[in-house]
Amino acid sequence: MDLTPVRAETARAETAIDWRQVRLLLATNWRTKINRASRSPFAFAFGMLLLGGFALGAILFSVVLGMGISALKASNPETAGAAVHEVFLSVFFVVVATPVLGFRGNEFLDVTKLFVHPVGHRTVFAATFIGLMGSGAVLFFSLPVVAAVIGYGGPPASVAAGIVAGLVLMLVSVALGQLVLLAFLNTLKSRKWRDLSMVLVPVVFGGFWVTFQILSRRGAEGRSMFVGAVEWFATWKDWTLPLPSWWAAHAVTGAGWARFLPLVAALALVVWLVRASAELQERAYFGEVGEEPAAEGVSRRGILGRLASRLRDPLGALVEKELSILGREPAVRSILIGQAIYPVLWGGLGVWRLMTTSSPEGLGRYAPLAGLVAYPLLLMELGLVMNLLGLEGGGAVHAMLLPVRRRLLLLGKDVAYLLVFGTLNAAFAIVATVVVFVVTSAGSVADCAQWSLLGALEGYCVLAVGLGIGNVVSVISPVRVAVRDRRAIRQQVGGREGCLRSLVSLAAVFGSMALSIPIALLFHMPHVLRLIPEAGTPPGWLLLVTVPVAVVIAAAALVGGAIAGGRLLEMREEDVVSKLTKSDE
Amino acid sequence: MTDIPAVPELPPPPAAPAPAGTPPQYSVVAEKLTKLYGKKAAVDAIDLTVAPGEFFGILGPNGAGKSTTIKMLCGLVRPTSGRAMVLGHDVRHEPVAVKSKIGIMPEEVNTYERLTARELLSFTGRMHGLSRAEADERTNQLLRLVEISDEDARKMIVDYSMGMRKKTVLAAALIHGPRVLFLDEPFNGIDAVTTQALRGVLQKLTERGVTIFFSSHVLEVVEKLCTRIAIIHQGRLQVVGTLPEIREKTGHAEGVPLQEIFIKVVGGNTERGELSWT
């Protein structure tokens, strides 16, 4: 055996920071960002627009903020101090959260990818720390901090000291962010986090936009909202004393030399955080943090599966298979979460407008319309409905070998989607109707039951129309979204094909909405007629005619779409398979 | 045997290390190497040695501990107990020194997907201390070797098939001229022509004194390429030696294929139920 002992100089070389490697890592990090942004001319233009927007937004925001704090200090110095605290607190949380929120978008934050290279964990740590300090988040959010300090004013020495305090705040925030990143590396690499971050990131950006809107409002209303928010924060500002943001802000707004003492504590905290992170980094380096996440459990057959098993084969078998995929394929969750912003935003906005413009009694008039909730839900589902074949992935080859008519392949998917998402729409419609009836005390129990049932039926019909169009669009423009190796491998479509895909998607969305409108009109014909004074009172039997017509239209759209899609699929089979499979499948 | 396609000249391996004044007798040494996950032993007190220039194959059924063993020897996973030396460096205390002299091709390709193959190879070369010009020159040779066209080399790795990804990672593992090459299931997802070309490269490397330590499920390849073989099962080393030695140790006659020996050693059940409809 040849077990030579470690020499002291080798051990030192193992732990020393290699600055040449640090520079290379930072440069390569930039390269990945540039590659990502310049993937296509559209992506490049969008990236530049986004970057320019952020830069301009940050500058404008900071100028407005600085001027606001300056004006506030002239009239109410105490509130101005609270405003500085509020800015520092917000920036602290944002910078701490940035590495976690940006984990999915920046490959270099997954440090485990570096460990096959001859690079020491301290080198990796230094590169990550410097990279985060130079990240867009730190650069953009430094501006409001500097603006708050300048806006608060004081002698030049105080302003300079305030800017140093802001820098210390950034150091602490980045160090804490890095610690969080390393501590939760395993979670951040998981599918669940990927899904969650798809919701969190837009929410955070939406929050910035709303804040900017409030701050940049001109006139008395805008000023009162800004001052109101700061005054509200001032009542609990000192509860944030344990946070580094308070320490840094106190160095700006406090008096006497003692106000700088917390900054010393902040620097000590940076040292501690760096040491703790380095320890975690070392554990990650030896594979003790980023273990593979456990395999997801296989969902058991539920009520829908049992329902599908009652259908005659081969349709029953196709539906059962599709239900299994919908229940287990992580891409389904990702797409739905990604699209959930539409029902949340549109539905929320609608409810908010109704509640702010109508009294509870007035709101009761809209109770029978609660079933319309299916329409924003359809927008969420369109990501899947317009790409019915996308979840097949490599299984597309298998599907095409099945000895069944192509229209049946699509119908199998349609039935499964109706069982899953139609039921979801129906459930939402029932809940929404019951809630509105209960809250507004509008109408009888029989009315509530009638509109709940009609709302549920409308939910299925709206989806059926979407599926009818989806049957055709899915064949014209399939995009692979199946997950393999724990990673979504969405087929990247660029150039002319990507442009065509976007146009087809747009047309499909508008087509679905246009075909759905008659369904809505037929389900709510009495309410439509009431809007027309000359139409008189609608007869009681009207719905008995219009609702069956709506159901027939929806069914015709579904079946017609399946037939047309099936014919198209027969002609384009080879093309569809090649788009849904990778070259090594 | 089929003719091996001509391959470009490989980067020269670095000078043999001499950590304590004398070159190590073995390229790889493991002594009671153990890795526990909770109470479960993924690798259980493995002892093995691999000499310079050996083509060493490690076999085992899924979950036997092959990948964990390779990860420990590469310094990617810290052993719970025991010791391992690679080219005279302790993997626990000198992982950077170990990684600077070895090439690694992990089973799961986990690399920077937003880099092109050319950029990844150049980056890897420079991480190993090569100059940019030298890294670029070697990148060109390696791309030809693994048959990645200029056009593909300009695409981002995210757009590659599994085979292309594996070829890229293998090329990255070779760029610095490693003394020991650790390959975990290298031929999975690679087409037959490339497999043949890579086999040629690997054999050429062993002729030049490079040690190859690899795991594979393709027993035919192991039988043809490996000078010594180890069979591991449930974390324990069952048998190690040349193929004739393994036959002798397991009581098999000369000419018995490796597959038969392997199934017997790992206690595999070859009897399956009958199909009622055929």
How high is the pLDDT of residue A582? 58
Are B228 and B57 contacting, i.e. CB atoms less than 8 angstroms apart? yes
Q: What pLDDT, on a 0 to 100 scale, did the predictor assign at position B69?
A: 92
Of the candidates A4, A28, A35, which has its C-beta nearest B20's C-beta? A4
Joined together, the tokens standing for residue A523 give 């389900």
**Per-residue pLDDT tens for A227-284?**
777 788 887 777 888 888 888 998 888 887 788 888 888 888 888 988 888 888 878 8
Token representation of residue A468: 């009818």
Supply the pLDDT for residue B15: 46
pLDDT at A145: 92
Residue B259: what pLDDT? Answer: 86
Contact B85 A14 (CB under 8 A): no
CB distance from B147 to chain A under 8 Å? no
Q: What is the pLDDT of residue A485?
A: 41
pLDDT digits (tens, 9 = 90+) for A137-187: 888 889 999 999 999 888 888 899 999 999 999 999 999 988 888 888 777
Which region among A164-178, A539-553, B16-30, B150-164 has the lowest average model confidence (pLDDT)? B16-30
Strand, helix or coil for residue B233: strand
Nearest CB to A11; choose among B88, B93, B114? B93
Q: Does B223 touch chain A (CB under 8 A)?
A: no
Whole-angstrom Cα distance, residue A14 to residue B94?
6
pLDDT at A373: 81
Q: Determine the pLDDT at residue A165.
A: 92
Angle between helices A374-385 and A445-476 (to 10 degrees): 20
Nearest to B173 by CA among B220, B115, B106, B83: B106
Whether residue B89 lies within 8 A of chain A, CB to CB, comes out as yes
Do residue B99 and residue A118 have CB atoms under 8 angstroms apart?
Answer: yes
> Which pLDDT band holds residue B269 (cuts at 50, 70, 90)?
low
- B200 touching A (Cβ < 8 Å): no
**Between residues 43 and 72 of chain B, which touch chain A (CB distance below 8 Å)?**
49, 71
pLDDT the model gives residue A173: 92
Residues of A with Cβ-Cβ distance to B158 under 8 angstroms: 492
pLDDT reported for residue A150: 92
- B213 pLDDT above the threshold of 90: yes
Distance from CA of A51 to the nearest CA of B (A): 19
Closest of B14, B51, B45, B44 to residue B29, by C-alpha: B51
Q: What is the C-alpha separation between A222 and A213, in angstroms, rounded?
A: 9
- B158 close to A (CB below 8 A): yes
Chain B residues with CB under 8 Å of A584 CB are 161-163, 189, 191
pTM, whole model, 2 decimals?
A: 0.65
Beta-carbon contacts of residue A87 (< 8 Å; ≥ 6 apart): A65, A69, A144, A145, A148, A249
pLDDT tens digits, chain A, 585 residues: what are they? 333 444 445 555 677 888 888 998 888 888 888 887 777 777 778 878 888 888 888 888 888 888 888 888 888 888 888 889 989 998 998 888 888 887 777 777 788 888 888 888 888 888 888 988 888 888 888 999 999 999 988 888 889 999 999 999 999 999 998 888 888 877 777 766 776 776 677 677 777 776 666 666 655 666 676 777 778 888 777 788 888 888 899 888 888 778 888 888 888 888 898 888 888 887 887 777 645 444 445 555 677 777 777 777 787 888 888 887 777 776 777 677 766 767 776 666 666 666 666 666 666 677 777 778 888 888 888 878 888 887 776 667 777 777 778 888 888 889 889 888 888 888 988 888 888 777 777 777 887 888 888 888 888 998 898 899 888 888 887 777 655 444 444 444 444 555 666 677 777 777 777 778 888 888 887 777 777 767 677 777 777 878 888 889 889 988 998 899 889 888 887 777 777 765 554
Q: Residue A26: is it exposed, middle or buried by C-beta count within 10 angstroms (0-12/13-18/19+)?
A: middle
Query: Please, how many CA atoms are within 13 Å of residue A170, restricted to the half-sphere of its CB?
Result: 23
Question: For position A212, what pLDDT does the model report?
Answer: 65
Cβ–Cβ gap B77/A113 under 8 Å? no
**pLDDT-based confidence at residue B5 (cuts at 50, 70, 90):** very low
CA distance B114 to chain A (A): 5
- pLDDT on residue A221: 61
Strand-pairing partners, residue B213, are B56, B182
This model of the complex carries an ipTM of 0.73
Interface test with A, best of B76, B92, B96 (most A CBs within 10 A): B96
Residue in B with minimal Cα distance to A282: B78
